[in-house]
Amino acid sequence: MASANTPDYNKVLYAPLAEIDPEVQNIVDKEIWRQFTGLELIASENLTSRATMEANGSILTNKYSEGLPSARYYGGNEYIDELEVLCRKRALEAFNLDPAKWGVNVQPYSGSTANFAALTALIQPNDRLMGLGLPDGGHLTHGYYTAKKKMTASSIYFQSFPYAITPDTNLVDYDGLAAQAKIFKPRLIICGASAYPRDWDYARLKAIAEKEGAWLMADIAHTSGLIAAQELNNPFEYCDVVSTTTHKTLRGPRAGMIFFKKDTEATKDLEKRVNDAVFPACQGGPHNNTIAAVATALRQVSDPTWRSYAKQVISNARTLASTLMEHGYKLQTGGTDNHLILWDLRPLGLTGSKVEKVCDLMGITINKNAVSGDSSAQVPGGIRLGTAAVTSRDMKEEDIKAIANFLHRAIQVSLVLQKEAGNKLLKDFVRVATTEQEGKVGHGQVKQLRREVREFAMKWPLPGVDVWNLKEPAGFMEHL
């Protein structure tokens, strides 16, 4: 509350969002309604907890604290120090790490900045690195470039070379990586991916890295929540550095972390290198509200119920995979070990963009994705689906089967729409999908599906929101 003497120019500091900025409040309300009335299947997304959002929205956002606990460039950091020490402790606990052997920096603003800081710590400008190629499931920050352009800092400031998946199995081609590494002589090998439905052989990767004298780094952004639950192989057994985002399967706020080994001759100075790389090399002041939210999320990871959540995410992904395969659809690698699946739409004569569009109109959020052997990166032949967010809305195997059925119907409608469009152009496909036309049935079928998805989605809670008292906000627009 303001005081009686608060001047006019400061009164604004005490007013709630809805009162002081109804425009932004309305956008927030529309986004809440979109999340409530739709199904989130984007594999990199999840729904964080109410407590995490409270910490993220806290007054800690006000504080500058460049540096590390007990070594700051600003005063007044006694509680911020306590927070960062607590967050680091919880991060190590979440992954069962011995603080004598591993350390962690919890200041990265996101996964991409964490990765660039890790590269800055491990190798010199223009050194060579290898990562899984983007079209094979790797991430932009693992060295991605095209024939015409170095796309990210990881290929602009370093020489990068991709390794690949084997065309017939679609599994990582470890033999190929070993052979290429022998010639390319990378100083760093990065494993981990954004669109790879199988687990990693870290022992094999370590052997390859060791042979060539390279560092081994795992980017577990997608799977960190499942690794913390010990549901997937443990990269910490073999890697020198492990980076992650905190907002995917780990279910925290948007941020990143870098874990570094520190107990061997080779790794004894990694702590300083990583810390110096995060600040001052790549970032400024840490976002303390976010670090508080990461700490809160990590506390949940150490709770005994975490493992049940992780098991359910995986079981849901397997159910989604098996139900789609029962319908005769082709999935890359024929299933999944983790939270995501890659669906190859090419045998159906459909593109990822078209199915993504139809799903969007229905209120199911997914993303188009390259599948192995795609001839054009511009027209991906598949879609990527993940089950973390729907698991966080309480859905289990039977509900996932209902979702798989919606997706099956989305494919059938897409085929109808493609026919009704009369050609293969996306713009004509979108036109027939979104407008009523004499003698055409596809649009009506999409509308019907939207009604059913909406009714289904509104049965489930949404963390952080009292959905049972929610009303559709002004200005919310269905796409149809």
Among the listed residues 88, 187, 248, 262, the single catalytic one is 248
CB of 115 or CB of 170, closer to ligand PLP: 115
CB of 257 or CB of 416, closer to ligand PLP: 257
360 catalytically annotated: no
Enumerate the β-bridge partners of residue 102. 261
Among residues 339, 303, 296, the alpha carbon closest in space to that of 320 is found at 339
Least distance in Å: CB of 342 to ligand PLP?
A: 14
Residue 4 contacts residue 15 (beta carbons within 8 Å): no
**378's tokens:** 């511009």
DSSP letter at 168?
Answer: T
Q: Is 438 exposed, middle or buried (0-12, 13-18, 19+ CB in 10 A)?
A: exposed
Among the listed residues 37, 48, 223, 245, the single catalytic one is 245
245 catalytically annotated: yes
CB of 249 or CB of 288, closer to ligand PLP: 249
CB of 221 or CB of 417, closer to ligand PLP: 221
Backbone angles phi, psi at 255, to 5 degrees: -170, -175
C-alpha triplet 368, 369, 371: angle, nearest 5°: 135
When CB distances to ligand PLP are compared, the closest residue is 111
CB atoms under 10 Å from CB of 34, counted, come to: 16
Cα–Cα distance measured from residue 52 to residue 67, given in angstroms and rounded to the nearest whole number: 24
Among residues 112, 187, 190, the alpha carbon closest in space to that of 153 is found at 112
CB of 77 or CB of 112, closer to ligand PLP: 112
- Half-sphere exposure of residue 250, counting CA atoms within 13 Å on the CB side? 31
- Residue at token pair 């390279």: 214
- Residue at token pair 């919880």: 90
Among the listed residues 34, 89, 254, 401, the single catalytic one is 254
Among residues 158, 470, 197, the alpha carbon closest in space to that of 335 is found at 197
The residues of the shown chain that bind ligand PLP, judged by CB under 6 A, are 44, 110-112, 115, 139, 141, 192-194, 219, 221-222, 245, 256
344 catalytically annotated: no
Cα–Cα distance measured from residue 435 to residue 102, given in angstroms and rounded to the nearest whole number: 57
Least distance in Å: CB of 244 to ligand PLP?
A: 8
Least distance in Å: CB of 255 to ligand PLP?
A: 7
337 catalytically annotated: no
Least distance in Å: CB of 247 to ligand PLP?
A: 7
> Which SS3 state, helix, strand or coil, does residue 57 take?
coil
Helix (H) / strand (E) containing 306? helix 305-326
351 catalytically annotated: no
CB of 221 or CB of 404, closer to ligand PLP: 221
219 catalytically annotated: yes
In whole angstroms, what separates CA 347 from the centre of its chain?
28
Least distance in Å: CB of 132 to ligand PLP?
A: 9
Among the listed residues 34, 45, 63, 64, the single catalytic one is 64
In whole angstroms, what separates CA 93 from the centre of its chain?
22
CB of 110 or CB of 323, closer to ligand PLP: 110
| Residues assigned a catalytic role | 64, 66, 219, 245, 248, 254
